[in-house]
Structure 1
Amino acid sequence: MYATEDEYQAHLDRAPADWAARVALGEFLKKAKDPRAAGYRALGRCRKYPHRSTRWVDYPWAIFPAGPLCIEREETASLAMPWFQAACRRGEGLEEVFVGGLSARGAEAMAGKTRRALEDLFAYAFRDFFRDEQRALIANKGKWLASAPSQEMPERERGFQKRLDARPDDHVARLVFADWLEERDDERAEGYRVLGLLRKWPEKSVSVGGEKRHYFHATPRPEDWQAHDDLPRAWLEEIWVYCGGSPSMVESGGGRPDEVSRRLRREVEDFAAIAFGTLPSRERERIRSEALAAAV
């Protein structure tokens, strides 16, 4: 989009809610091996930026809204607590934090910062947060890792996803998509590759009581399908947590309809691909070995 970071930042000063530009800035910084790259991409993906609150006058940079701001529920528009805490450790004077805003000392330290300076602080802090407290965020049902909406996807990704929407059992397309993601250093690459090798994808199936639940099963689905034919339980637990649920939702491979089954196929697969990378290395290697054996 632009040739320099200053041009990107000037654009974001004019249009702070331009999420695609924020993601593009992250890609620009990535090419320069800038440590802020992942943080800016994450802010763009979760569609958040520092917003001066008109309600909480004591906390001028209290919130990071996503889309239209709900004045009555400003506290829900904030970033996840672990990310705030990581920024507080990095920012001088930012020692206390609570969901939705900052302590008086923290607010005073942030009051004089520009949007750019504050986003830089949180972009740097994202590296600490991602490394040290990712699991804590997952437990708090964070959704910053969710993929950007389809209209903000790169054209090639839209093409792959449309293909998989039309033919979810096209596992060759899923593997090619994984290779394309790997070229872009996308965190979903290995997860999509393993799903392709296992020849599994999420499908809504009617379960006990007539509820529709997502199952990851091999296609064609065997008539004697059982819960053990689904993805490994540890992986499923991570997927349902990313979808906004909890590990306890993993019963026969399903989840509560209001939190999981209403999601699109691509959303659930994205969460599955991201969740794969959060599994312990030994568990990932075990699943990867099973996937390679299944593909032979």
Structure 2
Amino acid sequence: MRVTRHNSVGMPPPPRTPLRRVSQSSLFAVSTADPTDPHSGTAFLDAAISELADETEILQTNAEELRKLSDSLATFNESFASWLYVMRMNSLTIDWVQAPSDNSFALAKKRAERKTIAAAEEAQAKARALAAAAAAAREAETTKTMDHTEGDTTATNVSAPSKSILKKKTAKPKLTAKEKKERAIEIEKIIACLPLEFRGSDPNLRRHMEQVIEGFFDVPSRVVKLTDLIKPPDLSQARVNKCLIALVNRKVVSKNSSTGVVLYHWHGV
């Protein structure tokens, strides 16, 4: 028994058309239609296919242009990358940060000038030292010559007793404390105007200078000969002569040889 199904309202479902296979003769029928009729068969596809062919050719041309552009960009990229690499290598091998600049050459010139000035000053100092040494040698030679001359004069005077008056040495007068103080002050004032070696640089030379000055003070006339001041072994002839030269240079003592005998006259400061 056949059962008929009804929907919710009691109506039967609509009928369905069964599927059928496409007829194999339908495409043949379309292709064999009248070609003069633009609406029959496949005649309408001619214009579309022609337009599609034109567009396809244009697409191919554009694709070729894009390929050429890609090749050009690849060539440019390779060249530009090579240029950047060359510039980097150039900066690493040529652009030296510590290379000398104009300021470096200016500083080098100033250093050379300073070295030249220093060398010139050193040469001048050596020349002055040589000149001072030569002057000291000449002074020593002059002193030695004077000593020989005074020694010859003294020997001549001693060998001619008829022309010389032998005087007995008198004892030193005793000084009071006040006189000793005054004499010490005057001696200090005289030594203060002498060169540095007599002012304390050489204690022995200062002591010898004080003895020579006291030798002048012990003589009432303040006129003495070189031999009057010699007191060996402490106060030798060379020491006395050196002290007298310093006093003569400072014009504290004057030297006179007009009588044939070298005499030293005291003037003071």
TM, length-normalised to structure 2:
0.23
Higher radius of gyration, 1 or 2: 2
Q: Relative contact order, CA 8 A, sep 6+: which one is greater?
A: 1
TM-score, structure 1 length as denominator?
A: 0.22
